[in-house]
Amino acid sequence: MRLGILGGTFNPIHYGHLRAAEEIREGLNLAKIIFIPSAYPPHKKEEVINPLKRFSMVNLAIKENPFFSVSDIELVREGKSYTIETIKYLIRKYDKKMEIFFILGIDAFLEIEAWKDYRTLFSITNFIVISRPGYEQRTMDNPFPPGVSHEFSYDPKKKRYFRKDGFDTYFQEITLLDISSRKIRRYVREGKSIKYLLPENVMEYIRTHKLYR
């Protein structure tokens, strides 16, 4: 069985995240997707609201979908949220039963060199890199950072990059939705409507908790 992991700040979660998860689950035959909100993202400068509130919004957004779940592993762990630690934890928990696929947008992938132990990360898990408006998808030439590019070869039949150790990276085109949490935060601050950018119940949560004002 294949397990998809979608990490993020989810500040707040929106339809860009949800539609991406749905298309990837279906397209790559994943049994389920676990959303993992970060507690303290190491690379975010902007205001990131309380982790429990972001967690609650993810929970509201996914509750109708039986293939989606949310995990609090980064919330209960002390300190900054490093993906390498999360993946190692998930491998200990699931690896015998599940093949793990870490899902991220091309914007995040292009900055992966800044991630803690990113080279190790490529050697312990599969990746799915999804398209996002405004970011070129450099699939045909080698899209990996120089530190790991020599470790990957391309398999045109399966449209994936593979490594000798067996871990793959897929570049997946999905419906391009030009939605970002940053845009939603800005709209709220400016008193503009955020309707249809994210689920109604999340919108309601933002309103009742007076977030992002």
- Give the residues lining the site for ligand ATP (CB under 6 A): 8-11, 16-17, 20, 104-105, 107-108, 130, 132, 177, 179-182
- Name the minimum Å distance from CB 96 to ligand ATP: 27
- Name the minimum Å distance from CB 165 to ligand ATP: 23
- Name the minimum Å distance from CB 98 to ligand ATP: 20
Q: Is the dihedral of CA 202, 208, 212, 213 positive or negative?
A: positive
Residues recorded for the chain: 213
Nearest CB to ligand ATP, comparing residues 137 and 156: 137
Q: What is the DSSP letter of 195?
A: B
Taking CB positions, which residue lies at the least distance from ligand ATP?
A: 105
Instruction: Tell me the C-alpha distance between 33 and 51, whole Å.
Output: 20
Nearest CB to ligand ATP, comparing residues 86 and 181: 181
Nearest CB to ligand ATP, comparing residues 24 and 92: 24
Pick from 85, 81, 103: which is nearest to 37 by CA? 81
| Token pair listed for 195 | 């309707």
Instruction: Tell me the C-alpha distance between 72 and 81, whole Å.
Output: 11
Nearest CB to ligand ATP, comparing residues 157 and 184: 184
Nearest CB to ligand ATP, comparing residues 25 and 155: 25
Concatenate the DSSP letters of all residues of 74-136 into one string. HHHSSSS--HHHHHHHHHHHHTTT-EEEEEEEHHHHTTGGGSTTHHHHHHHSEEEEE--TT--
- Name the minimum Å distance from CB 164 to ligand ATP: 26
- Name the minimum Å distance from CB 181 to ligand ATP: 3
Nearest CB to ligand ATP, comparing residues 11 and 126: 11
- Name the minimum Å distance from CB 17 to ligand ATP: 5
Instruction: Tell me the C-alpha distance between 150 and 130, whole Å.
Output: 22
Instruction: Tell me the C-alpha distance between 57 and 24, whole Å.
Output: 21
Q: Is the peptide bond before 42 cis (omega within 30 degrees of 0)?
A: no
